[in-house]
Amino acid sequence: MTTYGIDRDVPLAKSQNEGSRVYPWFDMEVGDSFFVPLDTGLTGQKNLRASIYNAGRNALMVRGMLQKDGYRVVVRKMVENGVVGLRAWLLKKGEGPTPTLS
């Protein structure tokens, strides 16, 4: 059986992810969006979509912008200026643009 010693007064190391947010969710207002070009296959697209969506949901939670209050994250595949990618919106029911399906 392994036992572990207890260390006291060890300073907390800085998070390696601190300050390295990939998506601008914390800087966005309702109605804002951003575009991420796709350069991967279908599997990469699904992973990227999940990454963008989950980061947005986590940011909303941290910011106190809850789904029950009408806030939501929407991620759609788009072609912009000939570039295929994913556009992500921060929306609230009754505010901001309504994405159109094309």
The structural domains of the chain, with segments of one domain joined by +, span 29-92
What pLDDT digit, counting tens, does each position of 35-92 carry? 999 886 666 778 899 999 999 999 999 999 988 899 999 999 999 999 999 999 999 9
DSSP-derived letter for residue 37 is E
**Dist CA 10 CA 22 (whole Å):** 30
pLDDT per residue as tens digits for the range 59-70: 999 999 988 899
Q: Which tokens hold the place of 50?
A: 């999940």
pTM: 0.72
Read off the tokens for 74.
Answer: 């929407």
Quick one: DSSP state of residue 69?
Answer: G
pLDDT of the residue at 32? 95
